[in-house]
Structure 1
Amino acid sequence: MKLNISRDARPQVRTLLIATFITLALWFIPYAEILTYPFRIFVTFIHEGGHAIAALLTGNSVASLSVAMNASGETYTTEGGLLSQIFVSSAGYLGAMAYGALLLVLIRRAVAARIVLLASAAFILVLTTIFGLWKPLSNGMWERFSLFTLIAGVVLSLGLVAIARYASARTASFFVSFLAVQCVLNALSDLKTVFFLSSPLGTSVPTDAVNMANATGIPSIFWAIIWIGIALLILSTAMRVYAVSKHGSAKQQDLPFEDPLHV
């Protein structure tokens, strides 16, 4: 289906394409993954935060949240009813995709990049201090406390605050675009991995789709396909919102690589 991009959106779309190209290029350059490692950890925090928020919204409690050095993560919550389990298990990958889509919409709607960065920093810090530190220690679950989670969460939060505080408006805007691309592409990449792991020839690895299968009795590959479809729908909706003209809204800060405006 053809997507008509409004004239005032084209410079920002080019910027997103450049951010996407940089991300994909780094994926295929040997040892270059070290450059995207902080972003990978950021996306894992968003993923696990999605589980935590979904648990709270369905009346459950969160016992702990942790992120490992290999960018995997775990969130332990109380187990509610079937619908609650479906919502909580689905909120990881779809939450990361939704967060990336939200960043795209905020960029397009001229929300200040510094505000977005500070809000993201606050979100990561809340997840780290409450669910990564206070919850496991206050419940006496020392084995679920992760020092790496604490260090990574604090460093990420400080890094986002530093960029919001000291980077130029253009650089901050491009950084938000890059975060959006990272959330979207990593969510899709993770869902692709879950799909192959859930296939009949896949290896037995614990995933959110396996949790769904255990809760519902429906094969995990079904849930992987459903999540991929919903993720693509979220992305498609965000891009359509992004492509619509924003006449009358506040002027968006020019991003790096944008064409100069001639008046």
Structure 2
Amino acid sequence: MAPPPFPTSRKLARAVALSTIPHLTSRSLQKRDGLTVTDAQKVTLGIIAAYIVAIAILWNVPYIRWVLWPFKMLVIAFHEFGHAIACVLTGGKVKSISLDPREGGVTHMQGGKNAFTLPAGYLGSSLVGALLTFAGFNINGSKIASIVIGVCFLLTIWWGRKDWLTIGTVLAAVGLLVGCWFIAHAEALRFVVLFIGVMSSLYSVWDICDDLILRKVNSSDASVFAKRYGGSSQCWGVIWSIISLCFMAAGIVAGIAAFPQSAQQQRDDAQKFIPTKI
């Protein structure tokens, strides 16, 4: 029998090519879906932008900037917790944590590796901020984040049990988070977690700039780090600020990729995961 004519081969090749298009198209759509910003995420991004503007204004306007004071004390607690956990993980011992009403804090440690404990305050608080920003894209994610924060707060209270400001700040934060659990199946909790996350990320960057670039305070984590390991405090401050901003950006991108659910889907899911409502 004679072989089939050439046009039949062309048709076969075309059929094979067409059969692969759905698979390629499906893969392309899957990749696009991972980068697509949903309507719910656009709202979240808008809220993040509004938070950034509001924090920047409140931070610098006299008198009304005291509105942020409780949240500043909270993120300072994150800062000191970063020092403390790095100390423990590198073989040291945490003696105490205390917060200063003038927006300062100190962690008394014994042992540990200074190369890790010194930058852990700034980078730790910015990492916490990035994780909270990530969780703030989803109601159930915010629920889980609030539970983790609660555990961290218990450790902070243990280390700061001799300091009433530390205890009061932590208990007030826990009360706020618990109260938000009971509003619309914790939908309010998402916005509070998101705000604390943005605040923690921005506070880390602003504190570094304020101490090392604007006021040039000598007694900072970066100045101690520079004396021990070389370089200048300004240089280390800039490096840590860049890392902090990268953490925040990564938290936002990860939130977009991980939580594509619509607002209604989030509400429905929240009613199934530790449901609470007033």
TM-score by length of 2: 0.74
Is the alpha carbon distance of 1:210 and 1:107 closer, same or farther for their aligned partners in structure 2, counting shifts above 3 Å? same
- What letter matches 2:247 in structure 1? I
- Is 1:163 aligned to residue 176 of structure 2? no
- Is 1:119 aligned to residue 133 of structure 2? no
Distance (whole Å) between structure 1 residues aligned to residue 143 and residue 160 of structure 2: 25
1:6 corresponds to which of 37, 53, 74: 37
CA contact 2:204–2:241 (8 Å) conserved in 1: no
CA contact 1:114–1:165 (8 Å) conserved in 2: no
Q: Deviations over 1:43-86 (max 9, x none)?
A: 00000000001111111111111111112000111234xxx211
Which residue is equivalent to 1:103? 132
Distance (whole Å) between structure 1 residues aligned to residue 267 and residue 213 of structure 2: 41
Is the alpha carbon distance of 1:148 and 1:7 closer, same or farther for their aligned partners in structure 2, counting shifts above 3 Å? closer
CA contact 1:102–1:238 (8 Å) conserved in 2: yes
Equivalent pairs: percent with the same residue? 27
Which residue is equivalent to 1:260? none
Instruction: Give runs of ≥4 in structure 1 deviating > 6 Å.
Output: none
CA contact 2:222–2:234 (8 Å) conserved in 1: yes
Q: Deviations over 1:101-138 (max 9, x none)?
A: 1012222355343443343233223211x2112xxxxx
**Does the residue aligned with 2:160 lie in a helix, a strand or coil?**
helix
Which residue is equivalent to 1:93? 122
Corresponding pairs, count: 232
- Is 1:24 aligned to residue 37 of structure 2? no
- What letter matches 1:55 in structure 2? C
1:40 corresponds to which of 72, 86, 89: 72
Distance (whole Å) between structure 2 residues aligned to residue 92 and residue 173 of structure 1: 25
CA contact 2:160–2:167 (8 Å) conserved in 1: yes
Distance (whole Å) between structure 2 residues aligned to residue 118 and residue 238 of structure 1: 18
**Structure whose alpha-carbon radius of gyration is higher:** 2
- Is 1:176 aligned to residue 193 of structure 2? yes
Distance (whole Å) between structure 1 residues aligned to residue 101 and residue 260 of structure 2: 45
TM-score by length of 1: 0.77
2:167 corresponds to which of 146, 150, 172: 150
Distance (whole Å) between structure 2 residues aligned to residue 106 and residue 203 of structure 1: 34
Which structure has the highest helix share of the two?
A: 2
Is the alpha carbon distance of 1:77 and 1:189 closer, same or farther for their aligned partners in structure 2, counting shifts above 3 Å? same
Q: Deviations over 1:220-259 (max 9, x none)?
A: 22211221221122122222223337457993349xxxxx
Structure 2: runs of 5 or more not aligned: 1-34, 269-278
Is the alpha carbon distance of 1:64 and 1:188 closer, same or farther for their aligned partners in structure 2, counting shifts above 3 Å? same
Structure 1: runs of 5 or more not aligned: 134-144, 255-263
